[in-house]
Amino acid sequence: MLAGQWPKGWPELYVKRKYATIDPMVRYLGHSQCGFRWREPMQAFEFDPQRKRMERMMVDARRHGLEDGYVFPVHGRRGLVGVLTVAGHSIDLSPSEMAMMDALAKKAFWGLLETQDPAAHRRLSRPVVVQMTKREMETLEYLGHGMTSNEMGETLGLSAHTIDWYMNGIQEKLQAKNRHHVVAIAFRLGLIS
């Protein structure tokens, strides 16, 4: 965290009750590419097994003056790098205000990071260079369209085994854990659209 100001007692209660493990805002960040209001994750996790704990967390937040809020993720070339959370009394932001807050979150994060930790700023903002062969790029593009190894093999005139060999190379180059992670990283890096 580069900067933060929370109501007195809230950070301690948040840690004591281990809300970080179920915080719907934190969990929703994995799904969101732009800013969102607190109620969106609560709606998204309507049937989650941790729903009662999430609701309890929101009640505790309201007791500390955090009635409502917005979360604005900041993404770098390597994924989520920061978050701007604004909370307090309930207000409605228009779509244009949401877009401005998204831009402000990015500008503030990168500005603060450059001042507070120049080494981290250089590390997070340097270009990502990934060398891919033509065949790997084709395979990656088809994976992004949801094709299986067999379907890609038929399309490219290769065996599923060869496609899996290409996929292993792509996973290694992108340092991805699995094929879903490959697609997420490839989208973030602009390798596929």
Query: Among residues 125, 144, 166, which one ends one of the domains?
Result: 125
Q: What percentage of the chain reaches a pLDDT higher than 90?
A: 65
Query: Among residues 105, 125, 145, which one ends one of the domains?
Result: 125
Q: Is 4 inside any structural domain?
A: no
Mean pLDDT, the chain, whole residue set? 89
Do 85 and 141 lie in a common domain?
A: no
Q: What are 74-117's pLDDT values in tens digits?
A: 887 667 788 889 999 999 999 999 999 999 999 988 898 899 89
Q: Which residues, other chains included, contact 147 with Cβ-Cβ below 8 Å and sequence gap of 6+?
A: 155
Q: What are 114-129's pLDDT values in tens digits?
A: 998 999 888 877 776 7
Gyration radius (Cα) of the chain, Å: 20
Does position 131 have pLDDT exceeding 90, yes or no?
Answer: no
Residue 5: the pLDDT is 84
Task: Please state, in angstroms and rounded to a whole number, the distance separating the CA atoms of residues 30 and 32.
Answer: 6
Q: Is 156 inside any structural domain?
A: yes
* Number of alpha carbons in the 13 Å side-chain half-sphere of residue 154: 4
Model confidence pTM above 0.75 = no
Domain count, the chain: 2
Do 141 and 81 lie in a common domain?
A: no
Task: Please state, in angstroms and rounded to a whole number, the distance separating the CA atoms of residues 48 and 46.
Answer: 6
Q: Is 30 inside any structural domain?
A: yes
Give me the phi and psi of 65, to 5 degrees please: 90, 5
Q: Is 180 inside any structural domain?
A: yes
What is the extent of the structural domain holding 180?
A: 134-189
Query: Among residues 125, 151, 179, which one ends one of the domains?
Result: 125
Q: Per residue in 103-138, is it b (16+ CB within 10 Å) or e — as a string?
A: eebbebbbeebeeeeeeebeebeeeeeeebeeebeb
Q: What are 9-31's pLDDT values in tens digits?
A: 999 999 999 999 999 998 898 77
Task: Please state, in angstroms and rounded to a whole number, the distance separating the CA atoms of residues 185 and 173.
Answer: 11
CATH code of residue 66: 3.30.450.80
CATH code of residue 184: 1.10.10.10
Q: What percentage of the chain reaches a pLDDT higher than 70?
A: 96
Q: Is 2 inside any structural domain?
A: no
